[in-house]
Amino acid sequence: MKLPQRFALLTGTCLSLTALAPVMAIAADAAPSARERALMDRLEKLSADLQTLKAEMNELRRQQQSDRAAVDSASATAQAARSDAAAAASAAQAAQVASTSATAQNGAGGMNGAEQGLPSAPATVLTGYGEVNYNRYQRDKSKNEADVRRLVLGVQHRFDARTKLVTELEVEHSVTSASDKGEVAIEQAYVERQVGEQWAVRAGLFLIPAGLLNENHEPTAYYGVERNFVETAIIPSTWREGGVQFVGNLDHGLTLQVGLATSFDVSKWDSTDAETADSPLGAVHQEMAQAHAKDLAFFGALNWRGVPGLQLGASVFSGKGGQGQTAAAGNGLRVSLWDLHARYMVAGWDLSAVYARGTIGGTAAFNTLTLSSGPDWYPVPSRFDGAYVQAAYQLWSSGDLSLSPFARLERFNTRKAYADLGQGLTQTAAPTERVATVGANLNVGSGVVFKADVQRFHENKDRNRLDLGVGWSF
């Protein structure tokens, strides 16, 4: 029974017994009967209980007042804690964005509206990636090679909430000197400024948005020891140009990138070098090293990520390639490249496909200047293309380890067609190469990957090999 109910009951009983007091007083001189003694004992007991209940009620009121004060104090403390937590979360989010790697921010998204809350204080972070590879050929063991393919260090500096600098320095093949094949190159060097909630502008040397790999080319971002042939022989990853680029994060998962940039210089073509023909655009891009800039190019890319895990996109690049140089002037050289790409990651699967096609117009007049009847003549092709499909699956994971086998089928032709030079003079197109690659990536945490694969070539079987590699990015 609750204290208020008990208090009411005992109070009523005491009042009833009090009404009997006069009767009991009349018989005070007489010897009390047994009934009277019982009533008196009961009255005394109820009076004592009443005093106890009063004390309990007072204690209950005091306790309730104390509880209300404690609740008010706890509420104030919780509110203060929430305020402190919100401030800490805001600071942590700002620090996380400020320390994001420069490479990760080079992708199609650019700087988005969420970055409006970034701190205005300067923030500088170091980024980088690298890979060490081993190739073991099936037929000619003398071609086996171990190489530090590349080591890249980047510095990103944020001047304020809207302005940042991205730079990357790349070293290939360990050693660079007059007698070595190594190379030191500036891979990126641009400033980005946020202009509104959805748009940013970049100026400087940046990666061209083409395919799936060019802007996301760290070894932890792709399958296989070596980069695929379509996105190296047709799209010359990592392909960069200098210019101005606008990046828009639009509604419904759309990202638009458009800009003006330096173009190719076809006069760099060496028609006596077989390696020149292995990547037509790789042979004539300028990498903004004292680049001839008479002829500029337009580029654009559109990507849609409106469904979780899905990316659908296309890109185009087109510009004149004569650059006013003696060997190429006045012959209407124009270099164009476009691609379609798709990627879908769902339920452990990672599926992707790319098709890329390039053309160089006006090559007939240019090739006439280097015309040769010898077997080592490699004129500029008028058309080249390639495509691949790839499937990977996360087969096993434990803690921060995960194993993903993959398979890739690709075809590519860097000399698919030549401009007509007349009967007996036009170069014969090369056969289309087909490559099957099967392997696996073992990811260690989020920044290290061990890779192994086997590659089989349909046309040039001397290139069949086993590849092993380790890569990292941070």
Phi/psi for 15 (5° steps) reads: -65, -40
| Distance, CA of 380 to chain centre | 37
pLDDT, tens only, 29-41: 444 565 556 656 6
User: Which is nearest to 165 in space by CA: 175, 155, 151?
Assistant: 155
CA torsion sign, 54 to 58 to 64 to 70?
negative
The three-class DSSP label of residue 157 is strand
Q: What is the pLDDT of residue 460?
A: 96
**Burial bucket for residue 142 (CB in 10 Å: 0-12, 13-18, 19+):** exposed
Answer whether 429's CB lies under 8 Å from 448's CB.
Answer: no
pLDDT, one tens digit per residue, over 256-301 is 999 999 999 999 999 999 889 999 999 999 999 999 999 999 999 9
The predicted model gives 94-106 an average pLDDT of: 39
C-alpha distances out from residue 175 to 130, 146, 150, 287, Å:
14, 13, 10, 20
State residue 21's pLDDT score.
42
Per the document, the length of the chain is 474
Give me Rg for the CA atoms of the chain: 40
Amino acid 260: pLDDT: 98
Task: Say what the pLDDT of residue 372 is.
Answer: 78
For the stretch 189-211, pLDDT in tens is 999 999 999 999 999 999 999 99
Sign of CA dihedral 103, 106, 107, 112: positive
The C-alpha atoms of residue 280 and residue 200 are separated, in whole angstroms, by 32
Q: How many CA atoms lie within 13 A of 217 on its CB side?
A: 28
Beta strands at 349-361 and 448-457: parallel, antiparallel or unpaired: unpaired
Where does the pLDDT of residue 58 fall: very low under 50, low under 70, confident under 90, or very high at 90 and above? low
- The pLDDT of residue 63 is above 80: no
Give the pLDDT score at 64: 64
pLDDT at position 180, please? 87
pLDDT above 50: residue 94? no
Mean pLDDT calculated for residue range 225-230: 98
> Residue 345 gets which letter from DSSP?
E
- Looking at 217-374, which runs of residues are DSSP E strands? 240-249, 254-262, 296-304, 310-320, 334-346, 349-361
Residue 117: how many other CB atoms lie within 10 Å: 11
Strands (DSSP E) found in 39-182: 123-137, 145-158, 163-172
User: Where would I find the beta strands (DSSP E) of 138-198?
Assistant: 145-158, 163-172, 183-194
DSSP string, 222-256: SSSSSPPSIIIIIS-SSPEEEEEEEEEE-GGGEEE
pLDDT at 65 over 80: no
At 20, is the pLDDT very low, low, confident or very high (cuts 50, 70, 90)? Answer: very low
Q: Cα–Cα–Cα angle for 72, 73, 74, nearest 5°?
A: 95
Share the mean pLDDT of the chain.
83
**Mean pLDDT in residue range 81-98:** 41
User: Higher confidence at residue 138 or residue 85?
Assistant: 138
Task: Indicate whether 410 pLDDT > 70.
Answer: yes
- For position 61, what pLDDT does the model report? 66
> Alpha-carbon distance 44 to 33, whole Å?
17
Asked if 132 contacts 469 with a C-beta cutoff of 8 angstroms, the reply is yes
* pLDDT at site 375: 76
Apex CA 259: angle with CA 105 and CA 125, to 5°?
20
Question: Cα dihedral sign for 103, 107, 111, 114?
Answer: negative
Question: Does residue 92 carry a pLDDT above 50?
Answer: no
| Rounded Cα–Cα distance for residues 355 and 77 (Å) | 60
Q: Give the closest residue to 234 by CA, choosing from 312, 340, 160.
A: 340
Count the helices and strands in the chain (H runs, E runs): 6, 17
The pLDDT-based confidence of 52 (bands split at 50, 70, 90) is low
What is the average pLDDT across 120-130? 86
Residue 303 pLDDT grade (very low, low, confident, very high; cuts 50, 70, 90): very high
Helical (H) or strand (E) element with 387: strand 383-393
CA distance 377 to 443: 44
Query: Worst-scoring range by mean pLDDT, 69-73, 244-248, 257-261, 317-321?
Result: 69-73
pLDDT digits (tens, 9 = 90+) for 208-217: 999 999 999 9
Tokens standing for residue 227: 């980069």
Per-residue pLDDT tens digits for 420-447 = 998 888 999 999 999 999 999 999 999 9
**76's tokens:** 């104030």
pLDDT of res. 27: 38
What confidence score (pLDDT) does residue 441 get?
98
- Over residues 350-407, the pLDDT tens digits come to 999 999 999 999 999 889 888 876 678 999 999 999 999 999 999 999 999 999 999 9
> Is the torsion defined by CA of 195, 198, 201, 206 positive or negative?
positive
